[in-house]
Chains A and B, each alone.
Chain A
Amino acid sequence: MTVSWQTIADAVSLGGIYALMAVGIGLVFGVLRLVNFAYGQLIMSGAFALALAAQWNWPVWAGILLCFAVVLALSMLMDRLVFRPLREQSPAVMLVATFAVAFLLQSIALLWFGALGKIASSVAELNTPWVIGGVDIRKISVVAVAVTIACLAALQLLLTRMSVGLHMRAAALDFATSRMLGVRANRVIGSAVLVSGFLAAVVAVLLTVQFPLVTPSFALRDTIVVLAGVVLGGLNRPIAATLGGFTIGFASGFLGGALPTNQSQYLDSFLFAAVILVLLVRPNGLFTRHGGTAQRL
């Protein structure tokens, strides 16, 4: 097994991207107690928007704008057409509904773009290396980490300094009491879904740089790995979930780069075996304090 600086840089950048996905999934879980399995398809939709923009020879900024518009519009539609009408239903109904949305979006992508997919090449320039201290590091590795840090810092400001952020945190802790204090359920859930969608769009841009071939199953594997990471960290704690996402992203990137080519097909087996082992030892998550469970609705 050989480890290069590029491998470590890739692992850190994938860790950052997965941390953003974990935050996106965790925010919606916080206010709705719902694991949104359609999150990967939101990212896939954004990636197809980037691919279409590249095909139409749109400038990079216009492609990114289209990506954000598509993902945010789909997020809002998902909230209005699925989450809101089913909010009073059991968690199982909500869960199955997100599966249905995931398959629906994937099938639409299959019909529109075919199984072979499209190339999103508009920001491929970020795949070229920077030479830092005599070591080649791909620009996207640095950009992904910088964007992750900026997004997490902005999110922290939103959650701690703005009233809508405070309402989101309170709703995640005790939704019924929050509502009795005047916190608007629709506004809080809508905000969480929108922020989650914004992060999905950011991830779509970053992932298409690393994996420019966009197919209907784009980001599906990543979402499953991140969900495992979120559970690994602690689903009901945003910071723990973020750390879980980063950890599994780093491990995935590191093993992916370090394993010999003839063993790389075992990457996911190693990852999920490690997740099971960790959860056997710490069933409440790797990063939750005292191993206690958080208050649920």
Chain B
Amino acid sequence: MTLVLRDVRVRYGAVDAVRGLSLEVKPGEIVGLIGPNGAGKSSTLHAIMGAVPVAGGEISLNGSSLRGRRSEDVARAGVALVPEGRRIFAELTVEENLRLGLAARRTPGGVEEAFELFPIVREFRDRQAGALSGGQQQQLAIARALVAKPDVLLLDEPSLGLAPRIVDVVFDALAAVRERGIAVLLVEQRAQRTVALADRSHVLANGELRLTLGPGDANDTEKLVAAYFA
């Protein structure tokens, strides 16, 4: 399933958060969305999920419009979000958190598949999710999204606040997710890492798409810096 954004605009009152953004994510692709704070990256993900109203443009999944649909309907259409700050349910157990991921699943199945990518989640399945470390919680948040068997996975800064070793685990997992044919839209602050992993990365600034980079640009520091400050 291909996720397509055409000329999408998001407004908060008089402020334009996203201005005419167009992009496409095909199955088995990772598309990066990078840029400074306030560039409109998270607003783009929230607009796709129906969590904020879209002021203009079109969002579609395999030709079917997602615009104006409720968050739960977007999730049940096959789009899963790993939100910023993880937003796991600290008072529920790890397994209960995973079971919540089943709410959007369209085919029969359980939570077991999530353990392949993140064995640590299986180890702590009966523990309260709030007792996990930040890195374990992030793995749980991604596992919970994958339990839904989505066609499209949106991630909002999954490496934020994680130790370098855990960042490696997360990025390796994203590469494995791509292998499964899932379309991935990755919002990240770690620009170099994202550009290296993604099939293409869009640089957003002030709500607008400024530049598109390929994996070959990952080591071109000058180009990256110029894109950020353009």
Contact = CB atoms under 8 A, between A and B. Distances in A.
Interface of A: 163, 166-167, 169-170, 173-174, 176-185
B100 A181 contact: yes
A183 B83 contact: no
Given A181-B148, A182-B72, A182-B76, A174 B89 contact: yes
A166 B98 CA distance: 11
B100 A178 contact: yes
Given A180-B81, A181-B144, 19 more contacts: A163-B102, A163-B103, A167-B103, A169-B89, A169-B96, A170-B89, A174-B89, A176-B51, A176-B71, A177-B83, A177-B89, A179-B70, A180-B71, A181-B100, A181-B103, A182-B72, A182-B148, A185-B70, A185-B72
B111 to A, nearest CB: 12
Contacts of A163: 99, 102-103
A179 B87 contact: no
B103 A174 contact: no
Q: Which 3 A-B pairs have the closest CB atoms?
A: A182-B104, A182-B75, A182-B103
A169 B92 contact: yes
B47 to A, nearest CB: 13
B101 A181 contact: yes
A173 B71 contact: no
B70 A183 contact: no
Interface string B13-25: 0000000000000
A179 B71 contact: yes
Contacts of B99: 163, 166
Nearest to A180: B71
B96 A181 contact: no
B100 A166 contact: yes
Contacts, number: 62
Interface in B100-138: 100-105
A166 B96 CA distance: 7
Contacts of B144: 181
Interface residues of B, number: 25
Given A176-B51, A181-B148, A167 B71 contact: no
A185 B195 CA distance: 37
Interface in B125-164: 144, 148
A190 B98 CA distance: 23
Contacts of A182: 72, 75-76, 103-105, 148
B66 to A, nearest CB: 13
Nearest to B85: A177
23 contacts: A163-B102, A166-B92, A167-B103, A173-B89, A173-B91, A173-B92, A174-B87, A174-B89, A176-B51, A176-B71, A177-B83, A178-B103, A179-B71, A179-B72, A179-B75, A180-B51, A180-B72, A181-B101, A181-B104, A181-B144, A181-B148, A182-B104, A183-B72
B33 interface: no
Contacts of A181: 72, 75, 80, 100-101, 103-104, 144, 148
B49 interface: yes
A48 to B, nearest CB: 38
Nearest to B71: A179
Contacts of B87: 174, 177
A114 B165 CA distance: 73
Contacts of B104: 181-182
Contacts of B70: 179, 185
A3 B103 CA distance: 53
Nearest to A178: B100
A181 B83 CA distance: 10
Contacts of B49: 180
Contacts of A177: 83, 87, 89
A167 B100 contact: yes
Contacts of B80: 181
Interface in B44-92: 49, 51, 70-72, 74-76, 80-81, 83, 87, 89, 91-92
A167 B87 CA distance: 15
Contacts of A178: 100, 103
B107 to A, nearest CB: 13
Q: Give the one of A163, A174, A181 with max B CB within 10 A.
A: A181
Contacts of B75: 179-182
A109 B154 CA distance: 53
A177 B105 CA distance: 16
Contact of B83 (A169, A170, A180, A185): A180
Contacts of B74: 180
A184 B99 CA distance: 14
Nearest to A179: B71
A177 to B, nearest CB: 4
A84 to B, nearest CB: 13
